[in-house]
């Protein structure tokens, strides 16, 4: 989707080769105003103050993928509709 929309990616990281540390995830969380937690077809929009590191984790305990930051919004997990809104 990002390729077809010609969206410029600032940094890409393979979660299996270079997993996100708690410090990295906290830094991401601290750099945004909104967090969208997506799980399949559902999503929750949280203010930064409401979001915790646990919101960024999946059922295995690792941080969900993808994690996309655009401006002051962080999208965690995949939801096509939310990603579409984010990259417009």
Q: Is 90 exceeded by the pLDDT of residue 75?
A: yes
Q: What are the tens digits of pLDDT across the range 10-19?
A: 777 777 788 8
DSSP state of 8: P
Query: Please, which pLDDT band fits residue 52 given cuts at 50, 70 and 90?
Result: very high
CA dihedral 73, 79, 80, 85 (to 10 degrees): -20
The pTM assigned to this predicted structure is 0.85
Choose between 7 and 33: higher pLDDT.
33
pLDDT computed for residue 5 by the predictor: 62
pLDDT computed for residue 6 by the predictor: 62
Contacts by 22-25, CB closer than 8 A, 24 or more apart: 22/53, 25/53, 25/56, 25/63
């Amino acid at each position: 989707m990002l390729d077809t929309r010609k969206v410029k990616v600032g940094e890409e990281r393979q979660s299996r080769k270079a997993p996100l540390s708690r410090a990295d995830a906290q830094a991401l969380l601290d750099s945004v105003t909104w967090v969208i937690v997506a799980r399949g077809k559902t999503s929750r929009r949280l203010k930064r103050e409401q979001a915790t590191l646990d919101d960024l984790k999946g059922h295995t305990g690792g941080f969900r993928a993808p994690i996309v930051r655009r401006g002051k919004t962080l999208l965690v997990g995949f939801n096509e509709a939310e990603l579409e809104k984010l990259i417009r």
